[in-house]
Amino acid sequence: MSVSVYAVNSLKNYCLSKCRIRRGHQVYQEVCAACHSMSLVAFRDLIGVAYTEEEVKAMAADIEVEDGPNDEGEMYMRPGKPSDHFPSPYANEQAARFANGGAYPPDLSLITKARHNGQNYVFALLTGYREPPAGVSVREGLHYNPYFPGGAIAMPKMLMDGGVEYEDGVPATETQMAKDVVTFLSWAAEPEMEERKLMGFKVIFVLSLALIQAGFYKRWKWAPVKSRRVIVDVIN
């Protein structure tokens, strides 16, 4: 399908830019966070990746977090801190299912690793909504999406052109928002990916130099032996 081909070409094995991660976080905050949690991601994880420390502190302070107990043994509410994790939109799974007609919106912290071909799957799912073909019926409360197992999904189409207003002026088309939020989710699932790949590149580079040095040493060490002429005097 055309969506899958596009996703493979544009989302596989590319470097996650800070601007795209920041835009993807904005899409998550304004579109996805109303239903989906990211319980494994803390605000401070965004420092140096998409936001400055001051921006993250201001962002965290906008939420209220239950903490405690205090000296009187009671729980209390306080402003959020960078060490706090992203808040969940629901108190528990039962509340989430009740608000979504029995469907449970999954946590998105590891979604691109928890699904086969994760980046392509999420991108195709977000942009793959369409009218059901002839002969296919979808019960009330569900929406047709051929990229979701079974073809019927409780989540309605969430990405519309102009759905958010990017700070950097990039046109917020449906495809652009899908690419950006997939980039953000990919970073959230593997925040150490770029550092790990950079370390791997350094290791391979050093090993390559060592291999070249070993090759030259072998030639230098064994060249006199291999070039030595041995004469056998069979007469004497």
Q: Is residue 49 part of a domain?
A: yes
Measured in degrees and rounded to the nearest 5, phi and psi for residue 3 equal -65, -45
Write the CATH number for 154.
Answer: 1.10.760.10
What pLDDT, on the 0 to 100 scale, is given for residue 12?
42
What does each C-alpha distance from 132 to 124, 129, 151, 158 come to in angstroms? Answer: 16, 9, 9, 17
CA-wise closest residue to 32 among 184, 202, 227: 184
Whether 59 has a binding-site annotation, put simply, is no
> ω into residue 69 within 30 of 0, thus cis?
yes
Q: Is residue 57 part of a domain?
A: yes
* Angle of the 174-189 helix axis to the 2-11 helix axis, nearest 10: 50
Each residue's pLDDT tens digit, 150-207: 999 999 999 999 999 999 899 999 999 999 999 999 999 998 877 888 899 899 999 9
Separation CA 156–CA 71 (nearest Å): 46
Q: Is residue 11 part of a domain?
A: yes
Q: Is residue 29 part of a domain?
A: yes
Whether 36 has a binding-site annotation, put simply, is yes
Q: Is residue 126 part of a domain?
A: yes
**Domain with 112 in it:** 2-192
Separation CA 180–CA 17 (nearest Å): 10
With contact defined as beta carbons under 8 Å apart, do 120 and 132 qualify? Answer: no
With contact defined as beta carbons under 8 Å apart, do 41 and 35 qualify? Answer: no
Q: Is residue 89 part of a domain?
A: yes
Total structural domains within the chain: 1
- Residue 129 tokens, joined: 């909504």
Each residue's pLDDT tens digit, 200-213: 989 999 999 999 99
Whether 25 has a binding-site annotation, put simply, is no
Within the chain, which residues score under 70 in pLDDT? Answer: 1-16, 236
Q: Is residue 220 part of a domain?
A: no
- Residue 45 tokens, joined: 């994880």
Whether 32 has a binding-site annotation, put simply, is yes
Q: Is residue 235 part of a domain?
A: no
